[in-house]
Chain A
Amino acid sequence: MSVDIRIENLYKFYGIIEALSNINLKINDGEFFVLLGPSGAGKTSFIKVIAGVEEEDMGNIYFKNNLINKIPAYQRDVAVTFESYALYAHLSVFDNMAFPLKGPLCKNKRYLPEQIDKIVHKWAKFLQIEQLLKRLPQELSGGQKQRVAMGRMLVREPNVFLMDEPIAHLDAKLKHIMRAELKNIQRELNITTIYTTPDQLEALSMGDRIAVINGGKILQVGKPNDIFNNPVNEWVAKFISDIPMNTISCNFEVENGKCFAVNPHFKITLPKEQGRKLLNLLKDNNRFDLGVRPNKVFINTSEKKENSIPADVSIVEDIGRTKIISLFVGDIEIFSKILSTEFPKNIKKVWIKFDEESLYYFNEKTKARYAI
C-alpha cells in the first residue's frame, strides 16, 4: 500500500545548526520525488526524520492524513537504502533479503520459513538475482549489491521507499543502467519514493518532481523541465546545469526605444518584448544580472552578426565530441559549450553571441529570477 506524504513546517536542529528549516512539501502517492542539493544541504537529515530514525524538533509529518510524528520507526512501514548498501557481510544474499521478515516486529506478523522462502524468491525473481541467492555480498559486483539492498527493502512491501544517494559511488557505466533500473522498478511497483542526490543529472533524469534544497531550506519544487527552464534564482540556475549558467552584472539602458544590457565591456540589444517587460519589473533600479547557459553562447571567428561581443579565448577543454571554452570579456569569465567541429584550433580572439531566446534575468541584489 503506497501512501501520499504531507510535511508541514518541519524543523530539525543539531545544536544551534538548523539542518532543516520550515519545510513544507506534499509528495503524491506513487511519485518518484527527488531531493537535490549539495552536501550539507539537509538531504540525509530529511530522510532520517521521515524514516523516524531521528526526531523532528517542530512540525508535522502525515502519511495519508495520519500524523506519524510519534510513531516509532519500525511501525512506519518505510524502507531505506543507503549509499553503502549496508548488507550483512557474513550472511548470504538470501539471508540478507530474509532478514527483515525474521524480525519480530515486521508488520506485527510472524512468518513461517516457507512463507519467507516464497517472498524472498518472488522479489529475487523480480530483481533478476535468483541465481545469486546463495552468494555472499563480497562475491557480488556493485550493481548486484545495490539490487540485493533493494530486495531487502522490497520484501517488506513498504509504504514508502527512502533512497539516500543509492548510486552515487558506482562507475559511470553502471550508474546509467542502475538509473534506468531503479526508475523502472519504482514505476512498476508504484511505491512513493523519496530519493536524494547531489547530482543534477540524476535528479533531472529520474524525478517525477524535484525539490531543490540548500542550507536546510527548500528553494524550489517542480517538474524537472520546469526547474531546468524556469529556475527561481541564480543559485538554482547554476546548480541545475552540468556547466553552470553564466551570469553577468549589467546596467539596463533605453535609447531610441531600444533596450540595452550595458556593461563596461559590452553593450548588447535585448529582444524588444523582453526589454519592455524588464523595464516594468526593474522600475527605478537599473541593475540586473543577465544569465545565459554555456550551450547558448555561440562563437564566431569573425565579427559578423549584430550584438556579438569580442572575447579572448582562455582555455579550451576538450571532452570527446564537445568542447568547453573559457572566454574572457574584459575581466568577466564566460563559459561556452559547443560541438568540437565548430571550433577551429589555435584561435585566440573570437566573437560571441548569446542566444536571444535563452536569456535569463535576475534581480541584482536578491538574485531572484524575473519571470520574462
Chain B
Amino acid sequence: MSTVKLENVWKIYKTRKGDVIGVKNLNLDIKDGEFVALLGPSGCGKSSTLRMLAGLEEITKGKIWVGEKIMNEIIPQDRNIAMVFENYALYTHKTVFENIAFPLVLRGILSDEIKKQVYWVAEILKIVDILNENTNKLSGGQKQRVSIGRALVRSPKVLLMDEPISHLEAKLRTHMRAELTRLQRKLNRTIIYVTHDQHEAMTMADRIAVMNFGELQQYDTQENIYNRPFNEFVAGFIGEPPINMFNCNLEGEFNDLHLISNNFQLKVPNKIKIEIKKEQVLSKEMKLGIRPQDMIIVKQKRNCRNISGEIYHWEVRGDDGVAMVKVDKNIVMVKTPADFKFSKKEEVQIDFDPEKIIIFNKHTTKNICVSEKEFVSFAEGEGYY
C-alpha cells in the first residue's frame, strides 16, 4: 500500500524580508502505483513539495500521508522514499555495482543478498553489462539509469524524481521517456515526478498537477488538462506553440449566444453552449483561447469568424511551420504545413475550428465550461477523510 496524500500542506520560508510562501494549501491524492507529474514554471513550489515528501524540508502546516502513516515526524531515512536527482549524484570513484549497492551496504545487508538485489535492478534497467564500469565513463542516459537503479534497489514505497532527464539532449530524452514509462509499468511503483517541461509531463504521467506561485492550478489527466484547462494559466502553460487569446464579449440569449470581438464574430457551437456553467458567467467580458493547431491560414475571407491580420514572421522547422500573424498589435500563432509560402506583411485570414475553442471569464480567468463546484472540490481536496 503506497498511496500518497497531501492534506492542506503549506511551506512558508522565513526570510529577513518576511515570510515567503513556497507552497500554499496543497491537496493531492495519489493512488497506489500512479505516475504523477508536478508541473510548473520555476519557483512554483513543485520542488519544495518534493523535498517535503522526501523529508529534506520541514512541513510548515498540514499533513503528508504515505499509505496509512503520517510522515511529518518521520526522519528521511525511515520514510522508505527514494529520490532521483537531475545531476545523478553518483559516486564517481565507485563502479556502477558499488553505486547501486550503496544503500544496501549502509543497511548492513549480507553481500549475497546485495548481489541478488543489484542484479535484479540491473536487469530491469538493462545495465548488467556495465556493472563493473567506472561511472565517469558512462553516457548521460546510462548515468541516469544507474541513479534510478540506486533508488530502486531499496524497494521504496514511493519514488521521487526531480527533473531527471530535462538536461539530456533531445535524442536521448525521447528514448528515456519511453523507457521510464515502461519501467513504471513493470514495477508498478508510485512515482512523483517534478518537471518544468510540459512535454515530459504530458507524455509520461497518469495525472498532472499543474502549479503556479505555490498554488495548485489543476490536477487532472493529460487529456483534460489540454482540452479542459481550468484557467488561463493552465491553458497558456500547456501546448506548443502556446494558445492564442482574444478579448471578446459573450452576447445574446442562451439559444443564440455569440462571441464578439473587434476582429471577428462567432456563434457559440451547441457542443460548447451546453457545457457553459451559469455561475461562471458573471460578466460578459471573456477571453477566447484557440490553439495554433486548430487554426488555419486562408487567403480569402469566407466566414465572419475569420480574423484578418498580416504576416509578421514565419518559421519552417523541418516537417511543419508556425506563422506569426499580427492582428491589431497582438501576435497570433498558427500552425502551418512546411511548404506553406507567404510574403512578409501579406494580408491573410485566419480560420479556426469553432468546436475546439476554450472560453475564459476575463476577470476570474476561469474556464466557463467548468463548474464552480469542480474548482471548489478541487481546492478543498474533496475525497479526503
Binding site for B on A (CB under 8 A): 38-39, 171-173, 176-177, 179-180, 183-184, 198-201, 204-206, 224-225, 228, 238-244, 293, 295, 314-315, 317-321, 324, 326, 333, 335
How many Å from the CB of B168 to the closest CB on chain A?
A: 9
Is the Cβ of B242 less than 8 Å from the Cβ of A317?
no
- Given the complex, which residues of B lie within 8 Å of A228, measured CB to CB? 318
A319 and B199 in contact, given A176-B242, A205-B315, A240-B318 (Cβ under 8 angstroms): yes
Binary flags per residue of B303-340, CB closer than 8 Å to A gives 1, else 0: 00000000011011111001010000001010000000
- Given the complex, which residues of A lie within 8 Å of B312, measured CB to CB? 180
- Given the complex, which residues of B lie within 8 Å of A172, measured CB to CB? 198, 240-242
Give the distance in Å from the alpha carbon of A321 to the alpha carbon of B242 in the complex.
13
Is the Cβ of A205 less than 8 Å from the Cβ of B293?
no
Residues 94-120 (chain B) with a chain A CB within 8 angstroms: none
Number of interface residues of B (CB under 8 A): 38
Is the Cβ of A317 less than 8 Å from the Cβ of B202?
yes
A320 and B291 in contact, given A183-B313, A205-B316, A224-B316 (Cβ under 8 angstroms): yes
Is the Cβ of B316 less than 8 Å from the Cβ of A318?
no
- Given the complex, which residues of B lie within 8 Å of A240, measured CB to CB? 318
Give the distance in Å from the alpha carbon of A200 to the alpha carbon of B169 in the complex.
11
Residue in chain A with minimal CB distance to B331: A177
How many Å from the CB of B295 to the closest CB on chain A?
A: 11
Give the distance in Å from the alpha carbon of A172 to the alpha carbon of B240 in the complex.
7
Give the distance in Å from the alpha carbon of A352 to the alpha carbon of B244 in the complex.
35
Residues 322-367 (chain B) with a chain A CB within 8 angstroms: 322, 324, 331, 333
Is the Cβ of A200 less than 8 Å from the Cβ of B203?
no
Is the Cβ of A324 less than 8 Å from the Cβ of B169?
no
- Given the complex, which residues of B lie within 8 Å of A315, measured CB to CB? 178, 181-182
Is the Cβ of B170 less than 8 Å from the Cβ of A200?
yes
Is the Cβ of B203 less than 8 Å from the Cβ of A171?
no
A318 and B317 in contact, given A39-B169, A198-B169, A326-B178 (Cβ under 8 angstroms): no
Give 20 new A-B contacts, CB below 8 A, not counting A244-B170, A335-B174.
A172-B240, A173-B242, A183-B313, A199-B170, A200-B170, A201-B317, A204-B318, A205-B317, A224-B316, A239-B169, A239-B171, A240-B318, A244-B171, A315-B181, A317-B202, A317-B203, A318-B223, A320-B226, A320-B291, A333-B175
Chain A-chain B contacts (Cβ-Cβ < 8 Å), number: 94
Is the Cβ of A225 less than 8 Å from the Cβ of B315?
no
Is the Cβ of B319 less than 8 Å from the Cβ of A333?
no
Residues 237-262 (chain B) with a chain A CB within 8 angstroms: 238-242
Residue in chain A with minimal CB distance to B178: A326
How many Å from the CB of B170 to the closest CB on chain A?
A: 7
Give the distance in Å from the alpha carbon of A32 to the alpha carbon of B52 in the complex.
47
How many Å from the CB of A358 to the closest CB on chain B?
A: 10
- Given the complex, which residues of A lie within 8 Å of B170, measured CB to CB? 199-200, 239, 242, 244
Is the Cβ of B41 less than 8 Å from the Cβ of A241?
no
Is the Cβ of A293 less than 8 Å from the Cβ of B319?
yes
Q: Which of A177, A238, A320 contacts B171 (CB 8 A)?
A: A238
Is the Cβ of B41 less than 8 Å from the Cβ of A171?
yes
Is the Cβ of B331 less than 8 Å from the Cβ of A333?
no
Is the Cβ of B41 less than 8 Å from the Cβ of A320?
no
Q: Is B222 an interface residue (CB 8 A)?
A: yes
Is the Cβ of B171 less than 8 Å from the Cβ of A318?
no
How many Å from the CB of B271 to the closest CB on chain A?
A: 16
Q: Is B143 an interface residue (CB 8 A)?
A: no
Residue in chain B with minimal CB distance to A319: B202
- Given the complex, which residues of A lie within 8 Å of B198, measured CB to CB? 172
The 3 closest A-B pairs by CB, nearest first: A205-B315, A317-B203, A180-B313
Give the distance in Å from the alpha carbon of A180 to the alpha carbon of B241 in the complex.
13
- Given the complex, which residues of B lie within 8 Å of A177, measured CB to CB? 324, 331
- Given the complex, which residues of A lie within 8 Å of B324, measured CB to CB? 176-177, 180
Is the Cβ of A241 less than 8 Å from the Cβ of B318?
yes
Between-chain CB contacts (< 8 Å), 16 pairs: A172-B240, A172-B241, A204-B316, A204-B318, A205-B317, A239-B170, A241-B318, A242-B170, A244-B175, A320-B239, A320-B240, A320-B291, A321-B291, A324-B174, A333-B175, A335-B174
How many Å from the CB of A198 to the closest CB on chain B?
A: 7
Is the Cβ of A333 less than 8 Å from the Cβ of B316?
no
Q: Is B236 an interface residue (CB 8 A)?
A: yes
Is the Cβ of B317 less than 8 Å from the Cβ of A204?
yes
- Given the complex, which residues of A lie within 8 Å of B294, measured CB to CB? 321
- Given the complex, which residues of A lie within 8 Å of B331, measured CB to CB? 177, 180
Give the distance in Å from the alpha carbon of A242 to the alpha carbon of B170 in the complex.
7
How many Å from the CB of B332 to the closest CB on chain A?
A: 11
